[in-house]
Structure 1
Amino acid sequence: MVAAVADYRGLSFWHDTVADDLSPRAALPGDRDADVAIVGGGLTGLWTAWYLLDRDPALRIVVLEKDIAGFGASGRNGGWCSALFPRSTASLERAHGRDAALALRRAMIGTVDEVGRAADAAGLDIHYRKGGTVAFARSEVQLRSARADVADAERYGVDELELWGAERVRAAGALGASFDPACARIHPARLVRGLARALESRGVLIYEGTEVLSFESGRVRTALGEVRAPIVVSALEGYGAALPQLRRRILPLYSLMIATEPLPAEVWDEIGLEHGQTFTDYRHLLIYGQRTADDRFAFGGRGARYHWGSAIRPEYDRVPAVFDHLRRTLGELFPVIGDAAVTHRWGGPLGVPRDWHASVSFDPRSGLASAGGYVGDGLSTTNLAGRTIADLVTGTDSDLVRLPWVNHRSPDWEPEPLRFVGSNAGLLAMSAADLEERVTGRASLAARVMGPLVGH
């Protein structure tokens, strides 16, 4: 059942500040035919529709969304339009070979600019500013990791990472940082909501409040009727776990965020983060943040546990202990913020495949396409996915259809209770790895063991 409009404002800081009243669109009125049926009204589905129309403007496209467009991770994420892919370049090289790994890296780097270009073409103000990512190194162990990342980038010759000394960074205790220019700060809800409106102006039908019960070759079954289409695209990310046919294909793992009140210019001058810059550090339990267009911190991280049976419930979006941890961590990084108030707290599930390898696929015999498994790196990867699906579906011969994530098949997740035990043990291991490094001053053995399991 579709939530009240007021509830959508409370989904995140982004939803609360988007220039959109978030009124739900009409639901599917009954059975209908289309050329392409897209399951999921997030960025994967919407970008797919956008680029399909570029390839063939005559296509009849229907998007089916259980809640509202941008309800999930597409509207709640950290606002990093980055070149990050959940598998490292070294891991991709081991799996697919050097040339394929570097082709995917180049495609991801190019996607950062493509999102900005496409948003401009659609007439969207998404607060896009390409300022790069600063990854602080706050211990000697972390500084060695930063140096290793820069050395790897130099060895592969694609990513343009720089090593910054302590004099260029102002996070508390920072001994230096790596800097990756391939990242832009954006307002994600402005992107996903604006993209939905732009698609409607091009003739795409978006039905909200329409829960998909199942899909197969040639048809999508909902509680309100069927959509018959020769091409069916699954674009559900973490919410795919709610469908029996996808339950073991993807694991919904929660990431939580906070936003502070706007901070004065003199505080930002002391913090040293420019507009457009995003930031993180080299701890193992991931954190991520940005300076918003209205001078707040939007700051998030992992730490919320996986729930039995891949359950997704609204109450899991808010974990007070994790929010408290995020606020303490932000204050430790930037003590100058003092007692700055937290105005928004939110979270939501992201999609994790068993091998942490995002993928895009299309079977021309069945007409079924899919993309996902972004592990939190989806804001830009969804755009690459949409372009790739569009080329695959329309038979366009391009470099994109030969990238190594095309038709990659991740193993299924184990059944319960193994899935529950393993995923939550992994979260504990990352916390333990950070503690181990603080105590020993050496690179964590726990992190080394976990590395191959999380795409490193």
Structure 2
Amino acid sequence: MSGNYWSATVPASQPRPLAGDVTADVVVVGGGYTGLWTALTLVERDPSMRVVVCERDTVGFGASGRNGGFLDPSLTHGLANGLAHFPDEIDRLQHLADDNYAGMLTFFARHQVACDFEGTGMLDVAVAPHQVDELRESAELHVRHGQRAEFLDAGEVAEHLRSPKALAGLHRPDAGGVLNPAKLAAELARVAAAAGVDIHERTPVTAVKATAGGVLATTPAGTVRASSAVLATNAYSGQTLRRSNRHYIPVHDYILVTEPLSPELLASLGWKRRQGVDDAGNQFHYFRLTADDRVLWGGYDAIYAFRSGIGPRFDERPETFARLRAHLGQMFPTLLDVPIPFAWGGPIATTTRFTPVFGEALGGRLVYALGYTGLGVGATRFAARVLADRLTDPGSPLLSLRYVRKPPFPFPPEPLRWVAVTLVRRALASADLHGGRRGLLLRTLDAAGIGFDS
């Protein structure tokens, strides 16, 4: 039980590391969704622009190729979170989210993007009694804001998903769908390369410095001299731009994927509409079907390593894999003994308000976006638009949004950072065990608009 299932579904790339010194209009550091969408946005606006992408490993190596593959249109980590942080902008942000999602679907069709997208909508399920009313209230909130949402009682949710744990549900039929994230990353790279973007894999950028005419990105075997730079490395951003560390923490998330289910076993789940699903706990699970009828099951543990530890040694966690396997059997008893050949993990960049942070450095010559807190499959495309506007359209109305201008509350330095995260994780677990009642610590953080999520 090891390895990333998504990686096994895409052909191995043929890396073309940078060799020598080149010039460009823009150098993009990072070959995940943010970097590739930004490169595409720039060359779509100006086909003559030379954009060079440098990726330390291979395209989609980070969260872009390891996530659960949920394409949620939300830019604000859900409607309730958006209302809490951006009440004066929420209607506009919802409109921008819908426009961004529609733009993705148009892009998929225009470029024949083969990423196994299924527009299934989303299903939230209550797995504890106190969560039933929470989902009912959430359904009412979505309807008040013009979104299709349906509260499902125990009998109704069983028509969507058969599980002894599912006490109620919230069905949002228009809330996106699911896809293969590694295929999406590979397809973005394909379209970008066809549009003239130079992509160099196995090309770690060791430094980006200001020069008289722009920036200089240094790699082991060459340099890129450009007018400006985009840092698109999300949870790895602190390794290149230390000042970004205060805005996010890397939280390690873990996923299991089963063998393909037989038609009989699949039918036992009653998962006819194939929605992406999550439960309503603070420590929540998310789960979905893959294109070949495997069950992907992830979440629950959100592990922070002291000093923002990140790297391969954190990507496998046997105790978490065992816990996830047990929880899968509790949700779906018929899957208790199903083989699980794939298990992996990776870092998510989370911020204190669960939405991305946008910033700049080197006197505005370098721009960055990071911190999608688990909902970056769709939000990265919007972030790319913001980054492109910062470089080419400084008068863009997007740049006046508080969502873009105002960074989230920073995380404290170590060792307070590790202590704070540990205390909050314990408080969230306690709330799940005590009917959702949030103790003093969580109530204080709620009042200050500060949170922790994955």
TM-score by length of 2: 0.90
User: Where does residue 237 of structure 2 map in the other structure?
Assistant: 240
**CA, structure 1 residues 306+260, in 2 after alignment: closer, same or farther (shift >3 Å)?**
same
For 1:356, the equivalent position in structure 2 comes to: 354
| 1:16 matched to 2:8 | yes
Question: Could you tell me how far apart the structure 1 residues matched to 2:193 and 2:296 are?
Answer: 30
Distance 1:173 1:92 in 2: 29
1:75 and 1:263 mapped to 2: Cα distance? 23
Gaps of 5+ in 1: 1-9
How much does 1:134 deviate? 0.9
1:250 touches 1:413 (CA, 8 Å); kept in 2?
yes
Q: 1:66 and 1:80, CA in 2 relative to 1: closer, same or farther beyond 3 A?
A: same
Give how far 1:298 is off: 0.9
Residue 206 of structure 1: aligned partner: 199
1:223 aligns with 2:220: yes
Distance 1:278 1:392 in 2: 34
The one of 177, 181, 184 equivalent to 1:191 is: 184
Equivalent residue, structure 2, for 1:179: 171
Distance 2:201 2:149 in 1: 42
Q: Which residue of 2 aligns with 1:7?
A: none
Shift of 1:415: 1.5
Shift of 1:183: 1.9
Amino acid in structure 2 at the alignment position of 1:161: A
Q: Which moved more, 1:337-346 or 1:422-431?
A: 422-431
Q: Is 1:44 the equivalent of 2:34?
A: yes
Deviations 1:157-199 (A, max 9, x none): 1432221122222221322100122121100000001211221
SS in 1 for 2:223: strand
> Superposed, which structure 2 residues align to 1:99-114 within 5 Å?
100-114=89-103
Q: Does the residue aligned with 1:123 lie in a helix, a strand or coil?
A: coil
Change in CA separation of 1:107 and 1:51 when aligned onto 2, cut-off 3 Å: same
Summarize the Cα distance change of 1:396–1:126 in structure 2 as closer, same or farther, 3 Å threshold: farther
**In 2, distance between residues paired with 1:301 and 1:246?**
25
Q: Distance in 1 between matches of 2:111 and 2:65?
A: 18
The correspondence of residues 271-290 of structure 1 with structure 2, limited to 5 A, is 271-274=269-272, 276-290=274-288
Aligned counterpart, 1:59: 49
Corresponding residue for residue 249 of structure 1 = 247
Matched to 1:242, the amino acid is: Q
Report how far residue 267 of structure 1 moved. Answer: 2.4
CA drift of 1:249 comes to 3.1
Describe the SS at the equivalent of 1:284.
coil
DSSP 3-state at the match of 1:33: strand
In the alignment, structure 2 segments of 5+ residues that lack a partner are none
Where does 1:378-389 land on structure 2 (aligned, <5 Å)? 378-389=376-387
Contact 1:255–1:349 (8 Å) recurs in 2: yes
Shift of 1:118: 1.4
Query: d(CA) in 2 for partners of 1:283 and 1:455?
Result: 13
The residue identity in structure 1 corresponding to 2:4 is S
Pair 410,449 (structure 1): closer, same or farther in 2 beyond 3 Å: closer
Q: What amino acid is aligned across from residue 103 of structure 1 in structure 2?
A: R
Distance 2:321 2:327 in 1: 10
Deviation at 1:356, TM superposition (A): 3.0
Query: Which residue is 1:164 aligned to?
Result: 152
Residue in 2 aligned with 1:369?
367
Q: 1:288 to 1:449 in 2, by over 3 A?
A: farther
Identity of aligned residues (%): 31
Residues 245 and 44 from structure 1, CA distance in 2 versus in 1: closer, same or farther, beyond 3 angstroms? same
Q: Please give the alpha-carbon distance, in whole angstroms, between the structure 1 residues aligned to 2:80 and 2:182.
A: 33
Q: 1:90: Cα distance to partner?
A: 4.6
Report the Cα distance in structure 2 between the residues aligned to 1:11 and 1:209, rounded to whole angstroms: 20
Residue 401 of structure 1 deviates from its aligned partner by 4.1
Instruction: Find the residue that maps to 1:454 and give its secondary structure.
Output: coil
Residue 262 in structure 1 maps to residue 260 in structure 2: yes
8 Å contact from structure 1 (residues 105, 158) kept in 2? no
In 1: Cα distance, 2:322 partner to 2:39 partner: 39
